[in-house]
Amino acid sequence: MKILFINPPIYDFSAYDLWSKPLGFLKIIDLFVKNGVEIFYFDFLNRNHKFYENLKVKKGKYGCGSYYYEIIEKPEIYKNIPRRYKRFGLPKEIFLNYIENVGNLDFIFITTGMTYWVLGIKETIDIIKKFYPKTPVILGGIYATFCYYDAKNLNVDFIFRGKNIYSFFLEFQKNFKIELKFPDEIKPYWNIYEKLDYLVVKTSYGCPFSCWYCGIKQLEPEYFKLDHKKIVEELSENIEKFKTNDVAFYDDALLYDFENHLYKILFEITQIYKHIRFHTPNGIHPKFLNRDVAQNLKEMNFKTINLSLETIDKEREKESGYKVNFKDFESAIKNLVDAGFTKEEIGVYILAGLPAQSPKEVLNTVKILKNYPCKIKLAEYSPIPGTIDYEIAKKLYRELPIENPLFQNNSIYPLWNFENKWEIINLIKKEIKT
């Protein structure tokens, strides 16, 4: 059996490789590798492709960096957005040259990211169907889960929703009437890459909280932690192989039950690899950042700490399951500073563009946060189908095309539908910088 796996290009106003890898997709690859399947893999977002060798593309800190992009025409829905629209990722020609040498295939798997990146998915499918009109195409990932009924309009043969690999395996075999064995263990198949600038790892699935704006429950309904020894083994193997210096955690509740889980992982890894730098691209919960935890994170070489605050508005605390309050945030900041973290190492996410949220609320939050040693980061709200806030938005803004995946783009602040929107957004961003 021969299978081609594809990570599509991104169509968006902006995109940046901030420790971004299709972790779940790599686990699916591992499943088939362990069944003896011949694997082909094309990642449009692979910045270590030889194409980048002669490009003057900006590289960032800790293995991150910019993607190659081409400016393209904006879809009609974005015609009034005062920003350039781009296609990020390797050029189509490189992909065409690649698949010309692949030969016959039994299946083609395509992963999907943000719902509003759908045009990159369509591009990939259109190309594939010209070369392999009769080969079954399987779609999965975030867009496939949240926008299942939109995805059904694409020219694909099977759509899987969610992240449960065992469920996927059963559905896949039943749908295509084939028999394979489910391995005793599945982990991301990093060997599909020749070079990596960083590693990403997920030590737990799901989240014990139920924030109104978050869609994690649709992807990972139950919260559970993975065996910490297996995580240490996986990280050690890949640190040795790729000689990387940076590891980013993908957990949605990274510090939950810290002493019994994350601490054990960090302790074992740092005993062997003292040079590794750790990062938290996802926002972590301030209430779990006590003095001892902050000190441990500093001693174990964390370089990027992002806190979730969302807003200082008391009325909105219930929307995040009361996971954050300002007192917890102040305590977390103090503990981090006392442990030795600098302002450049501490980021704070605040949400902008929530249903019924005024720009004044965001601006007030920014002004207050400027009194604290942290970098303020706007987390623009994106309506995620199936969430509580999405349903609220549909009722509040019946005139807006919220069901359209392109309209779910966080870059356009879709629910801020007032005349001088961009002036106000620029004012907020200016306030953050000054």
pLDDT digits (tens, 9 = 90+) for 21-57: 999 999 999 999 999 999 999 999 999 999 999 898 8
Q: Which segments of 132-261 does DSSP mark as H helices, in order?
A: 142-146, 148-151, 165-176, 216-219, 228-242
Specify whether the CB–CB gap between 88 and 45 falls below 8 A: yes
Smallest Cα–Cα separation from 354: which of 396, 382, 376?
382
Packing angle between helix 92-100 and helix 118-131, nearest 10 degrees? 30
In this structure, whether the domain defined by 198-433 belongs to CATH 3.40.50.300 is answered with no
Other CB atoms within 10 Å distance of the CB of residue 238:
20
Find the farthest-apart pair of alpha carbons in the chain and give their distance in angstroms, rounded: 62
Average pLDDT over residues 402-415: 97
pLDDT in tens, 107-161: 999 999 999 999 999 999 999 999 999 999 999 999 999 999 999 999 999 999 9
Please tell me the distance from the alpha carbon of residue 385 to that of residue 161, in angstroms, as a whole number: 13
Give 3-state DSSP helix, strand, coil % of the chain, rounded to 5: 40, 20, 40
- Could you say which DSSP state residue 141 is in? E
Ranges for all domains in the chain classified under CATH 3.20.20.70:
198-433
- The answer, yes or no, to whether residue 397 has pLDDT greater than 70, is yes
pLDDT at 318: 64
Specify whether the CB–CB gap between 365 and 428 falls below 8 A: no
Assign domain 2-176 to its CATH superfamily: Cobalamin-binding domain (3.40.50.280)
pLDDT tier at 419 (50, 70, 90 boundaries)? confident
- The answer, yes or no, to whether residue 320 has pLDDT greater than 70, is no
Specify whether the CB–CB gap between 428 and 359 falls below 8 A: yes
pLDDT tier at 322 (50, 70, 90 boundaries)? low
- The answer, yes or no, to whether residue 321 has pLDDT greater than 60, is no
Please tell me the distance from the alpha carbon of residue 382 to that of residue 361, in angstroms, as a whole number: 17
- The answer, yes or no, to whether residue 323 has pLDDT greater than 90, is no
Q: What is the pTM of this model?
A: 0.94
Specify whether the CB–CB gap between 15 and 47 falls below 8 A: no
pLDDT at 344: 96
Smallest Cα–Cα separation from 304: which of 343, 336, 334, 345?
345
Ranges for all domains in the chain classified under CATH 3.40.50.280:
2-176
Amino acid, single-letter form, for residue 4 = L
- The answer, yes or no, to whether residue 313 has pLDDT greater than 80, is no
**Token digits of residue 40:** 């082909």
pLDDT in tens, 62-79: 999 999 999 999 999 999
pLDDT tier at 357 (50, 70, 90 boundaries)? very high
